[in-house]
């Protein structure tokens, strides 16, 4: 699908006024096979596990890790799409500044972006909620495979999305599993304190972004010449607060995404379009991106 020449010209002109701060959401990763939580109308299609549910129930942690084990096989295989590569090229060329991403997939970094704030954390990192020990997700994934050979075999034998394993991963990396693949699943334990409250180091639904990270992003907003929002519906305050702050300071705000957002009335430039083709076209026009 090609980008509208009008949209390309509008976004290129916006970038010509100075490198804006960038805020990205799940919409930029959908072309990499990671769907967002909301439909085109902004309505939530799936409800993720809440932080409170995860920390308060061993059964909930078992369910999460069983589903997340299966989901990671697909999530970790996702690769940057032309939208990610375009943002990296624009940043390298000085056309945009720091990227604040609400995504936990690290695809901006894999694409080559070097100045990225992972607002909601990184799914590739795991932390113990009791003693703060940290682990790479690949280490946890290997332990889960070894500790749950029957579940791992059942998941690996059904990669096509039949009734036992859904084909669609979610933005937080899990999938829907049949009950028999969850029953008896062994959750990971911390090697330091032996507790079972290991959790991906991401902000779960219902939890708050660490205040020091929010403060840093406010500082970036204050210092930026403008704000470019890509692929976010801005339905939660996590990202909308930066749009509101930029608007209060009279800074130009561009929003590029499909469907409505909560920040539309604050936008200086609003483009409702497919993200990857547009960003690739703009980056090809104003940078050396081939």
Q: Which residues sit in the known binding site for NAD(+)?
A: 102-105, 231-233, 275
CB 28 within 8 A of CB 85: no
Any bridge partners for residue 44, and if so which? 38
Question: Binding site residues for Zn(2+), as ranges?
Answer: 128, 131, 190, 193
**Pairing label, strands 99-101, 116-118:** parallel
Q: Among candidates 148, 141, 112, 100, which has minimal Cα distance to 124?
A: 141
Residue in 237, 199, 200, 202 with CA at minimum distance from that of residue 217: 237
Of 108, 120, 216, 280, the active-site residue reads: 120
| Rounded-to-integer distance, Cα 216 and Cα 206, Å | 21
Q: Are 102 and 71 in contact (CB under 8 A)?
A: no
User: Can you tell me the distance from the alpha carbon of 146 to that of 140, in angstroms, rounded to the nearest whole number?
Assistant: 10
How far apart, in Å, are the Cα atoms of 158 and each of 78, 155, 163? 19, 5, 9
- Give the three-state DSSP class for 228: strand
Active site residue 84: no
> Please, which residues bridge with residue 99 across strands?
22, 116
β-sheet with 269-271: strand ranges across: 116-118, 99-101, 21-24, 227-230, 253-256, 269-271
d(Cα 201, Cα 106) in Å, to the nearest integer? 13
Q: Which residue ranges make up the annotated binding site?
A: 102-105, 128, 131, 190, 193, 231-233, 275
- Catalytic residues, which ones? 120
């Amino acid at each position: 699908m090609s980008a509208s020449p009008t949209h390309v010209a509008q976004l290129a002109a916006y970038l010509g006024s100075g490198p804006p701060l960038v805020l990205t959401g799940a919409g930029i990763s959908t072309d990499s096979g990671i769907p967002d939580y909301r439909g085109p109308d902004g309505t939530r299609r799936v409800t993720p596990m809440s932080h409170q549910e995860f920390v308060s129930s061993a059964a909930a942690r078992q369910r999460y890790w069983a589903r997340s084990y299966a989901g990671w096989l697909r999530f970790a295989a996702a690769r940057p799409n032309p939208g990610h590569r375009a943002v990296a090229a624009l940043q390298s060329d000085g056309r945009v500044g720091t990227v604040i991403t609400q995504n936990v997939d690290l695809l901006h970094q894999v694409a080559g972006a070097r100045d990225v704030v992972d607002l909601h954390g990184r799914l590739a990192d795991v932390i113990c909620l009791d003693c703060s020990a940290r682990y790479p997700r690949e280490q946890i994934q290997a332990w889960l495979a070894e500790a749950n050979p029957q579940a791992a075999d059942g998941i690996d034998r059904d990669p096509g999305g039949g009734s036992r394993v859904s084909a669609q991963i979610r933005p937080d990396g899990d999938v829907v599993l049949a009950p028999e693949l969850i029953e008896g699943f062994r959750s990971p334990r911390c090697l330091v304190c032996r507790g079972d409250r290991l959790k991906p180091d991401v902000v779960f639904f219902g939890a708050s972004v660490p205040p020091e990270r929010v403060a840093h992003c406010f500082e970036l907003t204050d210092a930026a010449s403008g704000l470019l929002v890509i692929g976010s519906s801005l339905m939660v305050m996590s990202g909308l607060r930066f749009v509101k702050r930029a608007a209060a300071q009279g800074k130009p705000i561009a929003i590029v995404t499909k469907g409505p957002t909560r920040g539309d009335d604050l936008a200086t430039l609003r483009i409702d379009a497919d993200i990857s083709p547009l960003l690739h076209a703009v980056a090809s026009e104003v940078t050396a991106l081939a």
